[in-house]
Amino acid sequence: MRNVLIVDDDTIVRITLRSLINWEEKGYHIAADAIHGRQALDFIKDHPVDLVITDMKMPVMDGIGLLEELNRFKDMPAVLVLSGYDDFKLVRDAFRLGASDYLLKAGLTEETLVSMLKRMDEEVFQDQQGETGEEKKPVTAIPDSSLLGDMALGKRSLDESFFQQEYLVIQFEIEDFHKVSARFGEDFEEELIKPMIELAGQIPRVASRCIFGAVGPSRYVMLYRITDPGQYMDNSVSACRQLCNVWKHFMNLSVSVGISSPGNGSKDFLTRFEEAGERLRLKYLKGKAKICDPWEKDVVSFEEVRQTGLEYARLLKGLMVGDELSVWSEKKRLFSDLYKMELKAAKDVCLCIICNMAWQLSDNHDDITALFVEEINYYVKIGRLDGMRSLELWLNNFFRWIMDYNAHQTDRRQADMMIRAKRFIMDNYANPELTLGSVAGFVGLNEKYFSTRFTKEEGMTFSNYLTEVRIRKAGELMETTDLKIYEISQSVGYNSVEHFTRVFKKLCGVSPGGYRK
């Protein structure tokens, strides 16, 4: 059994990782979790760990700092990195420091995690076991598709022979990956990645001038060599559209695209790769399964969106958490700024705020398209507004929709937490150490808040609920087994048979012995 340490400052991510799969069945044991790198190091110094799953961005000590410290260990554990879509620079640094692989947080599903652990078993832990006496498999040539994906991630140094002429770097992302991934089982390599690459290779103009590879189950990269200087803009967009149509037709996958500006030589490759990813992140303003290229007119840039997000960070945070007071004061500042601008500039700021809102929803595993029944192209929607007053009115309505939606989602998520809490109680009622605090910690809620919410939703306190579960289970054991009373007492979480007897009689109106008779 391999020991696993989860390192992430986000409680929800830690809980998700713990509960996503049956770790024991896969040969792994969750030894502990930590909220930052320093806490993780303190644990590892006293406990053997085989696999560390760590976030990149954390307080006190981030993922890069943790990797740097782990490199000082005589026996460094395997490290699996968690990242966001905009963290490829950090992922490359992580590989440089010895990380084994990475998982995209937004694409984290049972299937992706199982597939990753299977790959770790075959490629990482198998290597650590040394010689097994079996005949070594012959070394096979690595296909260009794999080399390209590895170079993009920093797993492999750049090969100058790939970049002998001008090129574009294009990124592709499967839409709603967390929903569609279940169709492809546990072996993403065979069931998803390989078919995606093979279908791309069947398109003549892609096969003749492009290299297409995967950087993950949900994300792909293509090197488009420019052999048509006068027409490459239209031709590259046309090739991307044809690829997306093929994947839609044969695999029922919707795919969005981000295209970089031209690059030259290996020195430009990583910059163009990141540029393609940044352009891909602007897709939310156009709708799903769209192509975002550098030649579009009258669109906002990634840098404009990023800067606007920094400028109005308090407004965005208030919208996400439902802070009416903060939103009210920040809206006044926003509209004061907008009325000082030309209408076109004000509309661009509006678009940047919408895109930032989409990013934050995506970071929360949510989707801005869920706000409305129909898909919206925000360039068209905002473009139709004929003045500052109508822009202000529309933005006010949009902010209200966002806050109402987030409030509903928060209620739903917290209701889901109560369901998980009750399941946790049912799985652990036999443990005498089960407490309100341990259940609250499991679902990631403050103990006092959890206690209040539990009482409100269940109509009884946590303590009374746990007692009722234990006594009901005790009654079932008396009806269906020949266990002695003290054995039943221990089986339902009571160390003292006397205390168990008093509680049972109080709740059932009869002693355990009388109930059995």
Taking the chain (517 residues) in runs of 10, the rounded mean pLDDT of each run is 91 82 91 92 92 92 94 92 79 89 81 88 72 51 91 91 96 89 82 94 94 92 94 96 96 96 96 95 94 95 96 93 86 96 97 95 82 89 95 95 83 71 86 88 81 86 92 90 91 92 91 89
Confirm whether 2-128 and 429-516 share one CATH topology.
no
| 36, 98, 217, 389, 496 from 68: Cα distances, Å | 14, 9, 28, 54, 50
pLDDT at 131: 44
User: What global pTM score does this model have?
Assistant: 0.73
d(CA 491, CA 186): 37
Domain covering 429-516, topology: Arc Repressor Mutant, subunit A (1.10.10)
pLDDT at 406: 82
Helix (H) or strand (E) holding 79: strand 78-83
Determine the residue type at 210: C
pLDDT at 412: 66
Class of domain 2-128: alpha beta
Q: 313: which residues sit within 8 A by CB, 6+ positions away?
A: none
Listed residue (85, 94, 80, 37) closest to 61, CA to CA: 37
pLDDT at 129: 55
d(CA 211, CA 223): 5
Contact 300, 353 (CB under 8 A): no
3-class SS of residue 53: strand
pLDDT at 257: 98
pLDDT at 499: 93
Indicate the domain borders of the chain: 2-128, 144-292, 302-411, 429-516
d(CA 161, CA 232): 21
Question: Which string of DSSP letters, residue by residue, matches 276-321?
Answer: HHHHHGGGGGT-SS-EE-TT-SS---HHHHHHHHHHTHHHHHHHHH
CATH, domain range 144-292: 3.30.70.270
- Site of tokens 């709603």: 176
Please write the tens of the pLDDT for every residue from 112-153: 898 889 888 888 887 655 544 445 455 567 899 999 999 998
